[in-house]
Structure 1
Amino acid sequence: MKKVYKHTKSRAISALLCACLLTFITGSSYVFAIFRGPAIERFGVDGAMGAYALTNAIAPLPMLIGGFFIDRGKAVWTATCGAFFAALGWGLAAGAQAPGIFVATYGFVGGIGMGLILTSALSNTLRFFPGKRGLIAGIISCINGVAGMIMAPIAQKIIGARGLGATLYTFATIFFIIGIIVALFYRAAPVEGVELCKSNIAPQTQSVQNNDDGAERHVTATQKTPHTDTQLSLEPASTPSKKRKNDEGVEQKIKGVSVTPGRSRKGIRGIIPSFAVLATLDFWLLFLLFTCGAFSGLMVVSNSVGIATGMYGLTSMAAAFYVSLYSIAGTLGRFAFGWISDAIGKTRALQLTFFADACGLAVLTLLPGSALALGVGLFTVGITFGGTIAIMPAFVMDRFGPANQGINYALVFCGFSLAAMLSPKLGAKIGIAHGGDFSTAFYIAMIAAALGFVCASLLGRRAFRHRYRSNSTMTGT
């Protein structure tokens, strides 16, 4: 018997709200720019920046593990464990006395928690809203920026009054409380990624249509689609093999997937098995694109205080304002580009983010000493970084389908982690070596932005060719 998934709108909203709370935890990690000075004084550059880099670099490991369980309906368990790991890591880091202990607790244990949280909040919740993936990803990611905007001045005050240890204890307590709330109210989405419909019953079949990026968009079988649309039935993996006849009367047998005449299984991106995406060119373009898209944002956010004080002569307290400005920009970028990507296509939206990112970096490089230039540059880099973070989860799901989104996004997220390992530490060392001047680091980031633009363009061309071939096949030309 086929499994029928039932979920109400209240379950979807509950999942969305809890996902926002979860990303509040991950967003709090962006206030490391406030921790940076005291952490360097206490643990040295390698200890402080190594812990921050490890937090992001290790994320793919828990994301892969978490994605495995999320794709099997264990999103609540994964999210709760992530919140508790984050609380444990930051709580233990508060009492660390040696650089190695700080890296192991803040970087490793906390990074495990951040990875579990991130994959659960995005991969699970997007399945409730297949028609608005860009917008929902933008809303969830938006809380990342809100968290930084709220927590940066709070962290600055607590550090000034009570020190780094007390600040980390405070954050750990907040994370623990969020973990309890998530355990009680979070909801797991159907693992097939079926659509929430007005009848509150998810259908057993979906159709696949090409969106403006050329990637498949899943719609319910109850929706009316043109006769030429390709129909795809998604069933549990244990479903016996189905038999269909093609146009020439030849019987086709495909396990768990029914394909209409005129299109082969290879042409359906939505059913690529776990880890099989590694053999596709699209995956490696997405990987490199994510690396380039995160490069400048991570470099700037982790060194924003140093940039403000070294290149623009501001005090640490005044620099905290620009950290908040960057967080505001990231918040707006996540929401705005999430909506924009649904409107104009994710490929075009990513091209826009890379172009604007390069412009913002150019402002920071060419106009040192101007407070206005600092504000414009940080705001532009922040809004484009937020846009990239918001677009990528939905982009990956559009390319490879919802069935294995937990694992697929974790694999693509390795590109983000590569940037996390390279850019923050590279920026810090360049700034120290040049007496607080980060211009060289900005030039490197501009090259990364140009490379990201090229990757987005290549993905767009491949999508166009795929759409053209699909249309030609269905029309028989």
Structure 2
Amino acid sequence: MKKLKLKNRWLIAASAVGIHISIGSVYAYSVMTNPVGKILNVDEGTIKWAFKIAILLLGLSAAFMGTWVEKVGPGRSGTVAGIFYGSGILGSGLAVQLGSLPLFLFCYGFIGGIGLGIGYITPVSTLVKWFPDRRGLATGMAIMGFGFAALIFGPFMQILFEKVGVAKAFYILGTIYLIVILLSSSYIERPPQGYVPEGFSLAESKTVQKDIAYIDAKTALKTKRFYYIWIMMFINITCGIAIIAAASPMTQEKLGYTALQAAGIVGLIGVFNGVGRLLWSSLSDYLGRSNTYILFFALQVPAYYFLPQISIEVAFLIILFMVITIYGGGFSTLPAFLGDLFGTKQLGAIHGLVLTAWALAGVAGPSIYDFVKEQTGSLTTTLQVFSGLFVIAFIVSLFMKRNINALKKELSASES
């Protein structure tokens, strides 16, 4: 019997990047806020609801569709994601053309948001299975694409708005996203059962350890470690989103930057967000995933506490960009960590459930920041509140480490 030729796993990874770069364009939403708001005759706060709905639907669809994604495979789920996201953007163009705010909220927020959620989790478990030797690197590459997308599509959107108009720009963008996601989905597939890269042996590997479980999503929900990682992600995202939202006014207040200079810092935040996704997830292959998260929180407790008290420009920016890399790194290290904790049986479904933390943190982060800042009038006090949240995350990460060590001992005893 003729042996089937394996697909190139690096092209599988490139396909995953194609999906994530397309859906990650949602991070460039601020570019369209004013142009769309003017056409629909609504203020900035109203038009931002489309983005809020999209992120909420990302978390919810990732959670509720995760089991289905695992069942049908990445090719089919990626195709569905492309159809939803592409249709959502095309429909947004129609909404702009018709001057309909409800249609815009529905197309961009609900339809596009469902595409976001399905597309975000589609490549994850597949990449982990193709790269048992480099889980962190593989998932980091894909999720880095999500972080970098705004740098690519933000300027491109602005050019299109100026050259062809807002409605036509949405039609062009929707078509591009649809084509890229469908082409990427046509190549991506799971590896054969029991696949290992040539020359790799788990038994001989010094950096890769055996998964401590191989369970489904329903069973994962009954474990302590699921809730540990959920709390850790919720806090990391809540605090990260808050500081991203506050970056422009904070640099103007503390460093005396002009609005234009502050906008430049916001652009650099996008770079460090993307770089952190690849950097930290790759390092986690060597440091160990639980140690990486412990390090995340150990660094951010003092960073958030002292940042608003620093007036030296270089020191301030180094700390700011460091915490942004950790924000991105938390996302990209997560899929590999979940693979370590629960195995790859229903990794996409478990990942989707944890991403509900993102949906809630997207509301909680800016809300906590605005409330504390308004009540105290102090940026220092506000960021110290977030520093306190990181103390909780640090303690939870130590509980996670202890739980993992106990499970490894049990696993070792049962095999001996």
TM-score, normalization: structure 1? 0.74
Counterpart pick for 2:216 among 267, 273, 284 = 273
Give the corresponding residue for 2:189: 188
User: In the superposition, relative to structure 1, how do residues 311 and 101 fare at CA in structure 2: closer, same or farther (>3 Å)?
Assistant: farther
Give the corresponding residue for 1:227: none
1:74 aligns with 2:73: yes
Q: Larger deviation: 89-98 or 277-286? A: 89-98
User: In the superposition, relative to structure 1, how do residues 293 and 473 fare at CA in structure 2: closer, same or farther (>3 Å)?
Assistant: same
CA contact (8 A) 2:87 2:111 kept: yes
Give the corresponding residue for 1:249: none
Looking at structure 1, the residues matched to 90 and 246 of structure 2 have their Cα atoms a distance apart, in angstroms, of 24
CA contact (8 A) 2:78 2:119 kept: yes
Looking at structure 1, the residues matched to 371 and 104 of structure 2 have their Cα atoms a distance apart, in angstroms, of 20
What per-residue deviation string (whole Å, max 9, x for no partner) do you get for residues 10-41 of structure 1? 2x233211100111023222223444566677
Which amino acid in the other structure matches residue 389 of structure 2?
A
Give the corresponding residue for 1:20: 17
TM-score, normalization: structure 2? 0.84
Q: Please report how far the alpha carbon of residue 355 of structure 1 lies from its aligned counterpart in structure 2 after TM superposition.
A: 2.9
Looking at structure 2, the residues matched to 330 and 46 of structure 1 have their Cα atoms a distance apart, in angstroms, of 25
Identity %: 20
Q: Which has the larger radius of gyration?
A: 1
User: In the superposition, relative to structure 1, how do residues 299 and 45 fare at CA in structure 2: closer, same or farther (>3 Å)?
Assistant: farther
Q: Please report how far the alpha carbon of residue 45 of structure 1 lies from its aligned counterpart in structure 2 after TM superposition.
A: 5.6
Give the corresponding residue for 1:32: 29
Q: Larger deviation: 121-130 or 62-71? A: 62-71
Which amino acid in the other structure matches residue 376 of structure 1?
I
CA contact (8 A) 2:140 2:332 kept: yes
Q: Please report how far the alpha carbon of residue 469 of structure 1 lies from its aligned counterpart in structure 2 after TM superposition.
A: 3.4
Give the corresponding residue for 1:407: 349
CA contact (8 A) 1:135 1:335 kept: yes
User: In the superposition, relative to structure 1, how do residues 297 and 209 fare at CA in structure 2: closer, same or farther (>3 Å)?
Assistant: farther
More helix by share: 2
Looking at structure 2, the residues matched to 173 and 306 of structure 1 have their Cα atoms a distance apart, in angstroms, of 36
More strand by share: 1
Looking at structure 1, the residues matched to 379 and 33 of structure 2 have their Cα atoms a distance apart, in angstroms, of 16
CA contact (8 A) 2:59 2:355 kept: yes
Q: Please report how far the alpha carbon of residue 296 of structure 1 lies from its aligned counterpart in structure 2 after TM superposition.
A: 2.2
Q: Please report how far the alpha carbon of residue 325 of structure 1 lies from its aligned counterpart in structure 2 after TM superposition.
A: 0.9
Give the corresponding residue for 1:423: 365
**Secondary structure in structure 2 of the residue aligned to 1:402:** coil
Looking at structure 1, the residues matched to 102 and 68 of structure 2 have their Cα atoms a distance apart, in angstroms, of 31
Looking at structure 2, the residues matched to 355 and 155 of structure 1 have their Cα atoms a distance apart, in angstroms, of 38
Which amino acid in the other structure matches residue 393 of structure 1?
P
Looking at structure 2, the residues matched to 382 and 117 of structure 1 have their Cα atoms a distance apart, in angstroms, of 24
User: In the superposition, relative to structure 1, how do residues 211 and 48 fare at CA in structure 2: closer, same or farther (>3 Å)?
Assistant: farther
Which structure ranks higher in relative contact order (CA pairs < 8 Å, sequence separation ≥ 6)? 2
1:340 aligns with 2:283: yes
Q: Please report how far the alpha carbon of residue 283 of structure 1 lies from its aligned counterpart in structure 2 after TM superposition.
A: 0.8
Matched positions, count: 410
The runs of 5 or more residues in structure 2 that have no matched partner are none
CA contact (8 A) 1:329 1:382 kept: yes
The runs of 5 or more residues in structure 1 that have no matched partner are 201-205, 219-267
CA contact (8 A) 2:64 2:353 kept: no
User: In the superposition, relative to structure 1, how do residues 403 and 21 fare at CA in structure 2: closer, same or farther (>3 Å)?
Assistant: same
Q: Please report how far the alpha carbon of residue 123 of structure 1 lies from its aligned counterpart in structure 2 after TM superposition.
A: 2.1
Q: Please report how far the alpha carbon of residue 380 of structure 1 lies from its aligned counterpart in structure 2 after TM superposition.
A: 1.7
Counterpart pick for 2:117 among 108, 115, 120 = 115
Give the corresponding residue for 1:382: 324
